[in-house]
Amino acid sequence: MAIILDHVSYAYDKDNPEKKAIDDVSLHIKDGQFIGLIGHTGSGKSTLIQHFNGLIAPTSGNVYFDGKNIHDKEYDLRALRTKVGLVFQYPEHQLFEMDVFSDVCFGPKNQGLSKKDSELRAYEALKLVGLEDEYFYQPPFELSGGQKRRVAIAGVLAMKPSVLVLDEPTAGLDPKGRDEILDQIEKMQKETGITVILVSHSMEDVARYVERLIVMDDGKIMYDDTPRNVFSYCDELEAMGLAAPQVTYIMRDLKKAGFPVKTNLISVIEATDEILNKVR
């Protein structure tokens, strides 16, 4: 069920094909990976993820899912969208039903499942995102930002996708809400084993969770590696308007000041151990 992008380029303005939102991107997204996609605003990450489920067709290049070109004439794009679930940034753009539960049922119903099966899926999905039962029959518009986001994610999860793409799932949330959502996503990823692609402009959020980090700048992929290796380019990242986690900077400055510490550390705990070791 891997997604492969083969030299994909995309230009929004057909009259001006030189101005590319996506510029010659090739990617291989393997099963079960937890991936972070990072780039500052306007780097093309939102455009890129819409190629994964065929909402946008590339200007040039091909997209393959499960070995098949998704823009072949016979290919069923609607079926693909149930396999590659995409959750957009604003939950307000998709919530429309009178209560949370029926809203989550919308996806499975579109798949042609029976009422009973849809409800079962909806219940499962709502449990996976950690929404308490008391909210199930409330109007989704009255929920808090974090809960709305959970419902939106559940609405896509209920289709049982094998790949879940989340566009800025933490935007507009306070630190507590952000950590809760990300922890829940991590837990869900471990439980179900599905591929998760987390889109963000904040390194710090994503670094702790993902095993692979893709960094985009100006429509191109700059780095595609483990977070640890990516963060070793902290000067280059800064030039792109991104930043490495704060500890990376501390370790770098310590090294500059003459302490023989490793600089490729990404968490506070790792850094503490390293410093204590060297001090002793």
List residues binding another protein (CB under 8 A). 50, 53, 55, 78, 81-82, 85-88, 90, 92-97, 106-107, 110-111, 141, 155-156, 159
Whichever of 95 and 188 has its CB closer to another protein, that residue is 95
CA dist list (Å): 19 to 13, 23, 141, 217: 8, 9, 38, 14
Whichever of 106 and 249 has its CB closer to another protein, that residue is 106
Q: Say if residues 71 and 16 touch (Cβ distance below 8 Å).
A: no
Strand order in the sheet with 3-10: 22-29, 3-10, 60-65, 68-69
Q: What is the DSSP string of 263-276?
A: S---SHHHHHHHHH
Minimum CB distance to another protein, residue 14 (Å): 12
Minimum CB distance to another protein, residue 143 (Å): 13
Whichever of 160 and 252 has its CB closer to another protein, that residue is 160
Whichever of 93 and 256 has its CB closer to another protein, that residue is 93
Minimum CB distance to another protein, residue 164 (Å): 11
Closest by alpha carbon to 135, among 104, 169, 176, 90?
A: 104
CA dist list (Å): 181 to 59, 84, 169, 191: 35, 20, 8, 15
Minimum CB distance to another protein, residue 120 (Å): 17
Minimum CB distance to another protein, residue 81 (Å): 6
Whichever of 150 and 252 has its CB closer to another protein, that residue is 150
Closest by alpha carbon to 165, among 89, 220, 109?
A: 89
Whichever of 159 and 234 has its CB closer to another protein, that residue is 159
Minimum CB distance to another protein, residue 20 (Å): 20
Q: Say if residues 143 and 99 touch (Cβ distance below 8 Å).
A: no
Closest by alpha carbon to 42, among 69, 21, 58, 59?
A: 21
Q: What is the DSSP string of 11-32?
A: -S-TT-TTS-SEEEEEEEE-TT
